[in-house]
């Protein structure tokens, strides 16, 4: 049932956007540092909720970090090193579209990390995160859930829609049959890393619009007391008539017209 209708969604997400704008202004003003980790099933909708969050925010206040495969140099470093590089300075919100938790998820399930490495990761992570939160960083971790039937539906859509084809990677395809292994890996991850100072929050993304609103509402409510008044900007009337564009060197392109209208 739930199924929000489209206008309700638009209305609600716009309302929340205003609160996010306030929140980001508070972050910039107070010098807070916020890290939000987005993990979850392939196709769950990490990219979509991140885009919804960022949509109206000043890009100087919020950064998205989506790291690719480590280089050889990075692969030889301390595991957390390449993520640490992207942690926020005062006044920044950083959204991790996948994160160090790769090791506990895809790397484990697909066999890119061995059991020793995964165990070491699960052991080290709460300590690593405690260092960050002790330093005053606010660390919020979301895991987006989706039933396999829904996932299959979205994979089929990606296969068929030319606008979404690139989202379907060979790893995704190989991962399809590992749904239950991912569930197991997630539960082990939760057992090891759902801590007081850096707890996980699961959000149901079977309905993506619903999932976005649930997640964003939660995110806003996690940062209390984050109001800073909007700066008032004065735009006194211009002197004289407004100017128009005039061109001496080259002219603008002619307006595009629809093919049928030519």
Residues from 172 through 211 that contact a second copy (CB under 8 A): 173, 176-177, 179-180, 183, 187, 190-191, 194, 200-204, 210
Closest CB 187 distance from a second copy, rounded Å: 5
Give, as ranges, the residues between 108 and 147 that touch a second copy (CB under 8 A). Answer: 120, 123-124, 127-128, 130-132, 134-135, 137, 145-147
Give, as ranges, the residues between 74 and 103 that touch a second copy (CB under 8 A). Answer: 74, 76-81, 84-85, 87-91
User: What is the sign, positive or negative, of the torsion defined by CA atoms of 37, 43, 49, 54?
Assistant: positive
Closest CB 163 distance from a second copy, rounded Å: 5
Closest CA to 40 of 189, 163, 177, 157: 189
The burial class, CB within 10 Å (0-12 / 13-18 / 19+), for 256 is exposed
Residue 157: φ, ψ to 5°: -65, -40
Q: With binding defined as CB under 8 A, does residue 38 bind a second copy?
A: no
Closest CB 119 distance from a second copy, rounded Å: 11
The vertex-143 CA angle with 80 and 101, nearest 5°, equals 20
- Characterize the bridge pairing of strands 138-145 and 33-40: parallel
Give, as ranges, the residues between 217 and 246 that touch a second copy (CB under 8 A). Answer: 217-218, 230-231, 233-235, 238-239, 242-246
Q: With binding defined as CB under 8 A, does residue 31 bind a second copy?
A: yes
Q: Which residue has the tokens 């017209």?
A: 257
Structure tokens given for 207: 């309905």
Q: With binding defined as CB under 8 A, does residue 255 bind a second copy?
A: yes
Structure tokens given for 48: 């979509």
Q: With binding defined as CB under 8 A, does residue 63 bind a second copy?
A: no
Q: Which member of 27, 104, 118, 213 binds a second copy (CB under 8 A)?
A: 213
Q: Which is nearer to a second copy, 77 or 197 (CB)?
A: 77
Closest CB 225 distance from a second copy, rounded Å: 19
Give, as ranges, the residues between 7 and 26 that touch a second copy (CB under 8 A). Answer: 8, 12, 14, 17-18, 21-22, 25
Contact call for residues 95 and 50 (beta carbons, < 8 A): yes
Closest CB 146 distance from a second copy, rounded Å: 7
Give, as ranges, the residues between 146 and 175 that touch a second copy (CB under 8 A). Answer: 146-149, 151-152, 155-156, 159, 162-168, 173
Contact call for residues 212 and 45 (beta carbons, < 8 A): yes
Contact call for residues 9 and 213 (beta carbons, < 8 A): yes
C-alpha 260/C-alpha 262 separation (Å) is 6
């Amino acid at each position: 049932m739930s199924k929000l209708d489209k206008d309700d969604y638009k209305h609600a997400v716009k309302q929340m956007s205003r609160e996010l704008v306030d929140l980001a202004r508070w972050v910039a003003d107070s010098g807070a540092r916020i890290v939000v980790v987005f993990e979850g099933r392939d196709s769950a909708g990490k990219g979509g909720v991140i885009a919804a969050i960022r949509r109206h925010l000043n890009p100087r206040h919020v950064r998205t970090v989506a790291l690719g495969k480590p280089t050889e140099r990075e692969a030889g470093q301390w595991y957390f090193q390449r993520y640490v590089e992207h942690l926020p300075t005062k006044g920044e919100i950083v959204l991790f579209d996948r994160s160090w938790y790769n090791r506990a998820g895809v790397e484990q399930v697909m066999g890119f990390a061995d059991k020793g490495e995964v165990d070491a990761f699960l052991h080290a992570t709460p300590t690593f995160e405690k260092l960050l939160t002790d330093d005053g960083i606010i660390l919020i971790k979301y895991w987006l859930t989706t039933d396999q039937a829904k996932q299959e539906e979205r994979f089929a859509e990606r296969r068929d829609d030319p606008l979404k084809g690139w989202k379907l990677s060979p790893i995704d395809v190989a991962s399809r049959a590992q749904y239950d292994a991912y569930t197991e890996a997630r539960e082990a991850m939760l057992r090891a890393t759902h801590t007081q100072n850096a707890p996980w929050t699961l959000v149901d993304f079977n309905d993506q619009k619903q999932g976005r609103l649930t997640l964003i509402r939660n995110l806003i409510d996690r940062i209390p007391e984050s109001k800073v008044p909007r700066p008032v900007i004065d735009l006194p009337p211009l002197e004289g008539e407004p100017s128009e564009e005039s061109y001496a060197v080259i002219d603008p392109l002619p307006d595009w017209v629809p093919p049928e209208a030519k």
